[in-house]
Structure 1
Amino acid sequence: MALHKLLVDDFYDASFSLIAIHCKLEDYRLAYLLNKYLGLNLRRKAHDLDYNYFDASFSIFEWENEKIDSVWNLVSNVCKKEEAALQSSGFLFDNQTTVTRTVNLLPELKTVDYLIKVSTEDRHFNEKLILNKIQTIPQVITTYSVDIEKLKSKEHLIFD
């Protein structure tokens, strides 16, 4: 009897572009500027990306362009949380100190502040033009395209 084995990785198709943005703006302000400079209509989703195994949540904005069948997502790559520091001072009643912990959506891109994921079947999608328009935003430090094949944690980019 023949044994058939299906690999789940065979069904995953990364048909999207990923753009990294370095900028210290608040998420809502960057979404506004991207809407203005790129002619988008990004809106904050009702629920943030919440990963229990990260114990962190990331803000996400989305725009679905039905005319050309594309979906744009702006997602924060950084989540900062304050936690109680675990330290033993030997005293029963000691002041609790807090520590700020930083968690990244994509740990391979620790220095990236925001990510834009563009899911489209459009053959005429001009990524260089998009990168140049984003770079004209005065508050953006730099922006570049990310090679999806080199990411180990690309499953974190599945937002559905």
Structure 2
Amino acid sequence: MAVHKLFEDDFEEDNYTLIAIHCSTEDYRLAYLLNTNLNLKLARKREDLDYNYMEASFSIYEWNDEENCVTWNLVANTSKMEVEQTASAGSLFSDQQGKRTVSKYLIPERKRVDYFIKISSESYIKSSKIIVSKINAIAEVITAYSLNPNQLKSKNNLIFE
């Protein structure tokens, strides 16, 4: 039997910067604030990101900066859905039914992060420290910081194509 070895060079390396944002404002408001403070043109995509056969849906904004060959994505980390809640048989309040809210996360190991910015580039982009400092200057943003995507277990959820 032949043995095949895989080398790191066999896989194309991802060229993107990932920024985590903690912010309680709505996604459209954050996109507007990022557009004005970073001179971006983020626009909501027609379809949200759907995972697990529409079990979770995440809003996503995108801008393709063709002049600099950079693609910017703003994506929500949380998807909240209402599900029917049924009481178990034999419980004290068996005839009560209602709805409860269930949260799903794009990156489950970072549940406290509200949004992610993914900056994809074929070539070098300007320093992420400058971008993070401009994001932190926005009054509605609690904090923003760079993340290493290789340290995330669910980094494949950040593939949007």
Is the CA contact (8 Å cut-off) linking 2:77 and 2:116 kept in structure 1? yes
Three-state SS of the structure 2 residue aligned to 1:129 is helix
Correspondence for 2:79: 79
Would the alpha carbon gap of residues 124 and 103 (structure 1) be closer, same or farther in structure 2, given more than 3 Å must change? Answer: closer
Flag structure 1 segments of 5+ consecutive residues without an equivalent: none
Is the CA contact (8 Å cut-off) linking 2:22 and 2:115 kept in structure 1? yes
Cα distance per residue 1:57-105 (max 9 Å; x no partner):
0000000000110000000000111111232254898231212111110
User: Pairwise mapping of residues 133-152 of structure 1 onto structure 2 (< 5 A)?
Assistant: 133-152=134-153
Is the CA contact (8 Å cut-off) linking 2:23 and 2:140 kept in structure 1? yes
Amino acid at match of 1:149: N
Correspondence for 1:43: 43
User: Pairwise mapping of residues 91-106 of structure 1 onto structure 2 (< 5 A)?
Assistant: 94-106=95-107
Would the alpha carbon gap of residues 75 and 124 (structure 1) be closer, same or farther in structure 2, given more than 3 Å must change? Answer: closer
| Structure 1 length-normalised TM | 0.90
Would the alpha carbon gap of residues 136 and 24 (structure 1) be closer, same or farther in structure 2, given more than 3 Å must change? Answer: same
Would the alpha carbon gap of residues 36 and 94 (structure 1) be closer, same or farther in structure 2, given more than 3 Å must change? Answer: same
Three-state SS of the structure 1 residue aligned to 2:36 is helix
2-side partners of 1:114 and 1:9: how far apart?
31
Q: Which has the higher strand share?
A: 2
Three-state SS of the structure 2 residue aligned to 1:156 is helix
Paired residues, number: 160
Amino acid at match of 2:104: V
Indicate the RMSD between aligned Cα atoms, in angstroms: 2.4
Offset of 1:17 from its aligned partner?
0.4
Would the alpha carbon gap of residues 124 and 108 (structure 1) be closer, same or farther in structure 2, given more than 3 Å must change? Answer: same
Three-state SS of the structure 2 residue aligned to 1:141 is strand
2-side partners of 1:2 and 1:85: how far apart?
53
| Structure 2 length-normalised TM | 0.90
Amino acid at match of 1:22: H
